Structure 1
Amino acid sequence: MSCAIIGFGNIGQALAKAFARNGIEVSVATKRDPESLATDAAAIGPTIIPKTLAEAVKADVIFLAVRFESHPEVAKALPTWQGKTIIDMTNAYGVPPEQLGGQPSSRFIARAFTGAKLVKGFNHLIAATLAQDPTVHGGRRVVFLASDDDAAAAEISALAEKLGFAPIKLGRLSEGGLLVQARGNSWGRLIFKDLIKFD
């Protein structure tokens, strides 16, 4: 299973650190030239590989770590996203709910990435927290996942475990997804909750 992070700002780099800590290769890309990411990628670790957007979207699993407003542009990178799993790390804070047609923000993103399996996740922690080692006081930092596709949720749950996190599935996008989304001027109830799970 190949992975890519689209977006290499604070959140994208924070997630890349989790891959680097575990020696897992991940492509990173933005609309910019891959060379412009090289220094930051090298500082994180040798398994962080800058690529063009066109190369990065060939991955099986794609973490969408861009601003919510930028997702339509990323979605144009492929005519169909069939066979891909998209992890929606965006927050639509400040985007009026009526602009989303009353839908959860992830449903809106799912429509843009035609054919993809979509999982909402890794978006409720601030970058500084996401960047830290998820092993804390003998427990593991929680990441919340929501999806309308059980197989995709299971796949990303397994990947989260490999990255050292404790995934908690919240159900479907219209249920659990609402707990970890931002839209308009409101936050879901689980956003910014830094929880540790002890096995």
Structure 2
Amino acid sequence: MSYSIIGFGAVGQALARAFARKSIDVTVASRRPPAMLMERARAIGPNVVPGTLEDAIASDTIFLAVPFWEHREVAKQLATWQGKTIIDTTNAYGVPVEELEGQPPATVVARAFTGARFVKGFNHLPAAVLAADPGVNGGSRVVFLSSDDENAVAPVAALAEQLGFAPIALGPLKDGGLLVQGRGNTWGQLIFQDLVKFK
């Protein structure tokens, strides 16, 4: 299984830290050429490998960590995303509700990635918290996952556990997706909730 992160801002770097902490290889890409990401990637860890957008979309599992509407540029790269898993970490806070045509923001993103297994997740925590060690006082920091494809959630939950998090499935995008999403000038009820699960 190969992994990549598209977007190397605060959230992308936070996710890269999670991979580096567990010595799992991950490709990182952004609008900038790989050479411009090298210094920051090396500072995070040797398993964080800068690549092109083409390198990143070749991965099996792709974290989408770009500003909300930039998902459309990424989605254009392939006619079909069949066989790939997209984990959407974007937030649409500040995006007018009417621009979303009455849909949950995650549904708007999902529709752009034709054929993909699509999971909303890892987006409810501020980047600084997401970057921190998810092991907290003997427990694991919670990440929420939602999808209209039940079969897509299990492997993403397994990855979350591998990275040290405690995944909680919230159901389909029209329900769970709204709990962890910003749109217009409102935040979902679970946004910024820093929860820890104890076994």
Report TM bin, short chain. Answer: over 0.9
Which structure 2 residues correspond to residues 88-127 of structure 1 after superposition, within 5 A?
88-127=88-127
Are 1:169 and 2:169 counterparts? yes
Deviation of residue 20 (structure 1)? 0.3
Q: Secondary structure at 1:174's aligned position in 2?
A: helix
Q: Secondary structure at 1:193's aligned position in 2?
A: coil
**Equivalents in 2 of 1:165, 1:55: separation in Å?**
26
Q: Secondary structure at 1:109's aligned position in 2?
A: helix
Supply the AA of the counterpart residue of 2:51.
K
Supply the AA of the counterpart residue of 1:195.
L
**Deviation string for 1:154-175 (max 9, x for gaps)?**
0100000000000000011011
Supply the AA of the counterpart residue of 1:178.
L
Task: Give 5+ residue unaligned stretches, structure 1.
Answer: none
Q: Secondary structure at 2:189's aligned position in 1?
A: coil
Query: What residue in structure 1 maps to residue 62 of structure 2?
Result: 62
Query: What residue in structure 2 maps to residue 184 of structure 1?
Result: 184
Aligned residues: 199
Query: What residue in structure 1 maps to residue 154 of structure 2?
Result: 154
Q: Secondary structure at 1:140's aligned position in 2?
A: strand
Deviation of residue 104 (structure 1)? 0.6
Task: Give 5+ residue unaligned stretches, structure 2.
Answer: none
**Equivalents in 2 of 1:100, 1:117: separation in Å?**
21
Which structure 2 residues correspond to residues 36-75 of structure 1 after superposition, within 5 A?
36-75=36-75
What TM-score do you get using the length of structure 2 for normalisation? 0.99
**Deviation string for 1:48-79 (max 9, x for gaps)?**
01000011100010000000021111111212
**Equivalents in 2 of 1:133, 1:56: separation in Å?**
25
**Equivalents in 2 of 1:55, 1:12: separation in Å?**
16
Are 1:136 and 2:164 counterparts? no
Deviation of residue 88 (structure 1)? 0.6
**Deviation string for 1:110-157 (max 9, x for gaps)?**
111111111000000001000000000110000000001111110100
Are 1:27 and 2:27 counterparts? yes
Runs of 4+ in 1 over 3 A off after TM superposition: none
